[in-house]
Chains A and B, each alone.
Chain A
Amino acid sequence: MPSLIAFILAAGLPATLLLTAAGLGLGFIIGLGLALIRVYAEEDIAVLAQAYENVFRGIPVLVLMLLFLVSTGWPALFSAGLALGLRSGAYQSQIVRGAILSVSDTQVIAAYSLGMNRMQTARHIVLPQAFRLALPGWSNEYAVVTKDTAWAGAIGVLDMVKAVDYLIFENPLIFLPAILAVTIIYFFLTYPITRYAGEQMSKRLRSLGLGGNY
């Protein structure tokens, strides 16, 4: 088992981490942009952001990756990262938008009554709080993107699941231990982050009075 885990990590972990980082990073940029458009822009422009979200929440990740791989000449790793980023952007825009809208109205009215304009209110009052409120949602998105990187194995990127595929091919009897090994690895990738960023941060937010009213 230890040598199995070592091989899977050595062969597959770099690609998995790279794809997770690319997916979350690109997703953050897209998601933040879309959320700001949907909250602050005119109706006509906000509709475009909503259209993007509807499209990329409706397409499975595998289909998107295959689309990029076979219709354009981009290499597999780039296609996978781009597909993950675009999909994650659609979901992250919902997270950020929900967080922005949950900053209480009274704070914003107070800011306006102090003479701040919309941009200043957003920069100094709303967004800092919104980012804190978005953290539990982001930790969930991290777990989702980490697990979605497994789809990249289908288009040929050597990630952890593809490494297991190769192992199983060489020795079919190693099927069950290999699957268990990769399950344990994924668990250790997702659980600490979701535990810390998700639950711990929720508790801290509640103690700071930002956890919502219930």
Chain B
Amino acid sequence: MQHSHHAKAKLFESVSAGIHLIPDFRKEVSCKLSSGRQTLLVYLIIGLVIGFGLGYFVPGLIPEPQSDLVARIQARGTLIVGTEAGYPPFEMYNTTTQEYYGFDIDIAQLIADDLGVTLVVEDMAFDTLVAACKAGTVDLIIAAMFLTSDRAKELAFSVPYYTANEVMVVNASNPLEIDELADLAGYDVGVQTGTVEHDEVQDAINGGAAIILHTYASVAQMFIDLNSGVLDAVYVDEPVYDVYAELYTLRTIYKVEAPPMVAYCRWANPDLLAVIDGAITDAISDGTMATLVETWFG
């Protein structure tokens, strides 16, 4: 009796010990190396991986050397231009031929012809263009961008290639009239994100006018909302208004001259800037620019 009691006790002990083992058994059955050595080995491997990773990526973050970009573009055979499609008549996308076309695209083509390379258009959101050019995703920006001091701090700018007006657009049936931006207090105004118009309305708001600002990534959506009545007014460049005035019944109530439009590239690449300036000044002097303006702006 005592003997079997003792055996039962031992059995009970080993079973209860086993039960404690079960939740941790995956880590109990260890590999050949001791725990400390294992950790050290893994830390070493992680350190190597991080080291190699940093060594691979960090040189890429160093800005490119000067006077190299044009040679690299010609070696690569393509000029990558950043723009924001969907902004008539400057840059648009033809879904039938699946190509980009527009005033800015033609100017970019002139620059590419001067370099003797093919043109590749990268389309992205307007407010990411400046950052993308600084990072090197695109070589230059031609996107109907006005010359502003903020942008000039980030990127180098070319000679102006076009000057437009900014207009405030309302539906033709709207009797609203304004003398200045602050008169729009209490109205829903639409602008495209990152544009000079956006900054101007934001300044008016900061100056005390209670304008209800709506920002859009695309002008098409903005005009749809203006037409349906969601917005009271839209602040855009005049050439854009000319295009959309054909689709909807609109009128302008305010006009101001905009800063000139320029192309942008990085400050570290004066060689590319020289090519861009050369292409634009040549186009202005030999009449190509006049033809383009005639074609796209009527």
Contact = CB atoms under 8 A, between A and B. Distances in A.
Contact of A108 (B25, B43, B218): B25
Interface in A102-137: 105, 108-109, 112, 117-119
B26 A11 contact: no
Contacts of B184: none
A172 B224 contact: yes
A108 B26 contact: yes
Interface stretch (B92-100, B110-118, B268-276): B92-100
A93 B92 CA distance: 42
Interface stretch (B67-75, B131-139, B172-180, B254-262): B131-139
27 contacts: A11-B95, A42-B35, A45-B39, A48-B46, A69-B132, A70-B134, A72-B61, A72-B136, A73-B60, A73-B135, A75-B122, A75-B137, A112-B25, A112-B29, A118-B26, A118-B31, A155-B124, A155-B128, A156-B122, A162-B123, A165-B86, A165-B218, A166-B86, A166-B93, A169-B92, A170-B93, A172-B247
Nearest to B98: A11
Contacts of A156: 122-125
A76 B95 contact: no
Interface in B219-271: 220, 223-224, 247
Interface of A: 7, 11, 39-42, 44-45, 48, 66, 69-76, 105, 108-109, 112, 117-119, 154-156, 158, 162-163, 165-170, 172, 175
Which 10 pairs from chain A and chain B are nearest by CB? A73-B136, A70-B131, A156-B124, A166-B93, A156-B123, A169-B86, A169-B220, A73-B135, A45-B42, A73-B137
B66 interface: no
A76 B220 contact: no
B22 interface: yes
Contacts of A7: 95
Given A7-B95, A109-B22, A76 B29 contact: no
A76 B124 contact: yes
A39 B27 CA distance: 9
Contacts of A48: 46
B85 interface: yes
B38 interface: yes
A4 to B, nearest CB: 10
A156 B94 CA distance: 15
A76 B137 contact: yes
A3 to B, nearest CB: 11
A95 B94 CA distance: 43
Given A75-B137, A172-B224, A41 B26 contact: no
Interface of B: 22, 25-26, 29-31, 35, 38-39, 42-43, 46, 57, 60-61, 85-86, 92-95, 98, 122-125, 128, 131-132, 134-137, 217-218, 220, 223-224, 247
A178 to B, nearest CB: 10
Given A41-B42, A169-B86, A76 B22 contact: no
Contact of B137 (A11, A74, A154, A172): A74
Contacts, number: 96
Given A109-B22, A112-B29, A70 B125 contact: no
Contacts of A112: 25, 29
Which residue, A74, A163, A165, has most C-beta atoms of chain B within 10 A?
A165
Contacts of A118: 26, 29-31
A169 B218 contact: yes
A72 B137 CA distance: 7
Contacts of A172: 220, 223-224, 247
B287 to A, nearest CB: 31
A82 to B, nearest CB: 12
Contact of B135 (A11, A40, A71, A168): A71
B128 A66 contact: yes
Given A11-B98, A74-B137, A166-B95, A44 B39 contact: yes
Contact of A154 (B29, B35, B125, B247): B125
